[in-house]
Amino acid sequence: MKAMVQVVLCRCCIEVSKLLDMERLQKVASESNNVVSTVAVDAVCDGRNLAPVMAEAKLKEVDRAVVLACHKKDISPAVVKAYRRAGVNEYLVEFVNIREEVVLPHMGDHESAQKKAETKLRAAISRAVLLSPLEKLTEQMATRNVVIIGAGVAGQAAASEAARTGAHTILLEKTGRSLKAPGVILPHSQVVGAKGYGGNFTLRIRAGEKSEDLGAAAVVVATGGGWTSLRGPLAKAVKDAMPLYRFYEVLLSGSPPNGPVVIVDTPDPVGKTVRVQDYAWDETLETVIELKKKHPDTLVTVVFQEMRAFGLSELAYKEAADIGVRFVRYDRNGSPKVDPKQPNTLTVKDLSLGEVLSIRFGTLVFASIPPNEDNKLLADALRISMTADGGTRRGSIQRWPVTTPKPGVFVCGSALFPKSKAEAKVEGQAAGAMAGAFVMRGVVEYGGVVAEVTQDKCSACLTCVRTCPYEAPFIGTASKAEIRIQACQGCGMCVGICPSKAIELRNYTDEQIMTETRTLLGGDF
């Protein structure tokens, strides 16, 4: 049966830029025998604009589509919903990111932008023709448990919100401190292992000497930052040293700082290459400027190994220097030290002067603090990824700030990166509400773009089993690999490594990828 493709061109991305020729793109689309409809729409992200497109889709009996607009993440919810209503499977809609891949990188270069847009359109049509409709399956969740790991500010807020949705909350706390939160509270307990997938996790909980399994439909990671006990020699030598966020709170309260202020990048700098989170520098510069403006007489020194102040922060750096903030750079051979016998003096070798400076201070502040070491163990157990800074990685800072890329696992508070109590609380509430809503759905969706084994080709060599980060492949009763579809995230690692080419990712088969690539290269390969 012939594939019936509809090509949708978003005016917002194509015409507004004045870079691309809409008519020529329409002509390119019509060159393909499979394209039965080409429509231009004002902004595809607005569902209301899609009504005439869908009317045309039904009229022309369209069964698949190519959409030229901006990032798939921005537009796919509206577009996929509309097509689903028009009877088109969501996996048969192919997106081309014209804005970020053509318009933005080729500003002012009409010819190459047009050529690239046309090539990408041809490639997307060639791929769309080969796509297969895929279905999502559902499975009942075994429990309504939301397990919240960590009972700090964020964790308690998450428990309250999750409980309001009707989910059963279980709050795990590493210490034995007394807590007020709804649901079950397990003090002195930690997650040491996890199996399963969103909707049906089995967590291994260790409480003191005992270990037991706990079923969970969703998990909220609220492990906090590492600063509840500041580690490192500087923190040890100076008892009242504080992290930046706490100093900022002092500053907001209006009381003047205690004596000269020294801000060091980390409490543990000795003999090390220090790498702190980028945002720490934005916040440090913001804080010192405010400090200098409020209390101009305070002596402020920032001691750092490597400062990365991007974008407008560079101006902030200049402003800070202009209003009298001292910046002292050091390297691993001249790390800052505080002699515990003289807890008011910091010595550091200034890299520019080549001299050792003694800086007297009343307040010692750390721009950054080491991340919670539990995060790594937990990330291994839950198989979620981490940032280079040692925090938990989230879905998207704008769209899904408290989700992780793994369905059913949410994250909030300082497990992401150090933040204030107020922020941690808001994030905890958001994560709790999302986890509760996830659990109360009662079913998990899975499938779609997942790996599939051609068992005749499988040698049961275990390579996929060893490679998969999600424990999706296993060797089944037929002594051949099988994929636990619920666990499969569609990453394709097993597909790439399988020595017998026995595994394929649905809708990313060799044929589909090669056809698309060939078209991108002008069909001559």
Partner 1 sequence: MIVAKRKPLGEIAEMLASYKKVTVIGCRSCVAICLAGGEKEVKMLVSALKIRNRKEGKRQDFEGLVVERQCEKEWVKEVEDKILGSDITLSMACSLGAQTIGDMYPKHLTFPGLNTGIFGVPEEQGVWSEKCVGCGDCIIHTTGGICPISRCAKSMLNGPCGGSADRKCEVNLEVECAWAAIYDRLKLQNRLDLIERITPAKDWSTSHSGGRRVFVREDAKLTQHQKKGKEVVL
Q: Which of 445, 457, 523 is nearest to 490 (CA)?
A: 445
Q: Could you say which DSSP state residue 309 is in?
A: -
Residue ranges binding partner 1 (CB under 8 A): 457, 459, 461, 463, 466-467, 497-501
Given CA atoms 343, 349, 352, 354 in this order, what sign does their dihedral have? positive
Length of the chain: 525
Cβ at position 510, least distance to partner 1 in Å: 8
216: helix, coil or strand? strand
Distance, in Å, from the CA atom of 72 to the CA atom of 100, rounded to the nearest integer, reads 11
Say if strands 242-243 and 363-366 run parallel, antiparallel, or are unpaired. Answer: parallel
Distance, in Å, from the CA atom of 229 to the CA atom of 241, rounded to the nearest integer, reads 11
Beta-bridge mates of residue 409: 219
Cβ at position 465, least distance to partner 1 in Å: 10
Inter-residue contact 411 to 220 (CB < 8 Å): yes
- Judged by CB, which is closer to partner 1: 376, or 501? 501
DSSP structure string for 100-128: IIIITTTTT-HHHHHHHHHHHHHHHHHHH
- Judged by CB, which is closer to partner 1: 64, or 383? 383
Cβ at position 15, least distance to partner 1 in Å: 40
- Judged by CB, which is closer to partner 1: 78, or 460? 460
Q: Which of 472, 447, 451 is nearest to 383 (CA)?
A: 472
- Judged by CB, which is closer to partner 1: 136, or 501? 501
- Judged by CB, which is closer to partner 1: 68, or 498? 498
Cβ at position 457, least distance to partner 1 in Å: 7
- Judged by CB, which is closer to partner 1: 240, or 524? 524
Distance, in Å, from the CA atom of 32 to the CA atom of 56, rounded to the nearest integer, reads 18
Cβ at position 280, least distance to partner 1 in Å: 37
Rg (CA), the chain: 28
- Judged by CB, which is closer to partner 1: 8, or 498? 498
Cβ at position 128, least distance to partner 1 in Å: 25
218: helix, coil or strand? strand
Cβ at position 515, least distance to partner 1 in Å: 15
Q: 240 burial class (0-12, 13-18, 19+ CB within 10 angstroms)?
A: exposed
Beta-bridge mates of residue 215: 202
179: helix, coil or strand? coil
- Judged by CB, which is closer to partner 1: 85, or 466? 466
Cβ at position 501, least distance to partner 1 in Å: 4
- Judged by CB, which is closer to partner 1: 7, or 495? 495
Cβ at position 503, least distance to partner 1 in Å: 10
Angle at 157 between CA 156 and CA 159, to 5 degrees: 65
- Judged by CB, which is closer to partner 1: 123, or 494? 494
Distance, in Å, from the CA atom of 81 to the CA atom of 370, rounded to the nearest integer, reads 44
Cβ at position 125, least distance to partner 1 in Å: 25
